[in-house]
Structure 1
Amino acid sequence: MNLNLATIRIKNLRLRTYIGINEDEIKNQQDVVINILIHYDAKQASDTDQMQDALNYKTITKAIIRLVEDNRFSLLEKLTADILAVAAEHPSVTFAEAEVDKPHALRFSDSVSLALSCTKD
């Protein structure tokens, strides 16, 4: 049995940040909902059962929280790209995807979202 590839999903991370270009958006924080998908080689962690051999999703999540809450963004593209960079930073990550929802951004819509992904060789 080959259990090398792991998938981590961070689901519905709800944060507040400054996001947008309208005057109201520049002055007031808004809710964002973040979903992250990370693939990494988990063979060593599966074999050893040691935290130092695994990808620490708590560390990644804390870094994303700091990034989102401590900065201002005009565009969902920039916010999503910066989150993706944090998610894909670890050398064992082979693929990552980040999606950011901006609830109530459009009238009659639950949210607007943008997703970006990257593959590492």
Structure 2
Amino acid sequence: MSLEKEMLNQGSEHDSSCCTPDGSERKSHHSDKVKSSLTSRLNRIEGQIRGIKGLIEKDTYCDDVLNQIASVQSALNGVGKLLLEHHLKSCVIERIQEGDTEVLTELMTTMNKLIK
């Protein structure tokens, strides 16, 4: 199953207390498969960043480095999109159903940061 499908399916398995404030902390619950997939993606991105550092140290042509940076940004955007979709379909819906409309302000702040 793809990460996208796993995250969509996970919304129905979501722990009802995972996204509601419990004092000062909120948590989200991701299945082990989703965590593993996200971690793998982030590990690849981390490797790409180390590669970019190496290109800079080797005085690689600027356009080549910039293309690698664009690739990393795209990969990070992909991870962010998946997490945002999961957040909307689980945490945000739950909190709205519980009457917590503050989640919408929080969501708008987060989305503004993501689309800068």
Structures share fold, TM-score greater than 0.5? no
Could you say which structure has the larger radius of gyration? 2
Higher relative contact order at CA 8 Å, sep ≥6: structure 1 or structure 2? 2
TM-score (norm. length: structure 1):
0.28
Whose helix proportion is higher, 1 or 2?
2
Q: TM (normalized to structure 2)?
A: 0.28
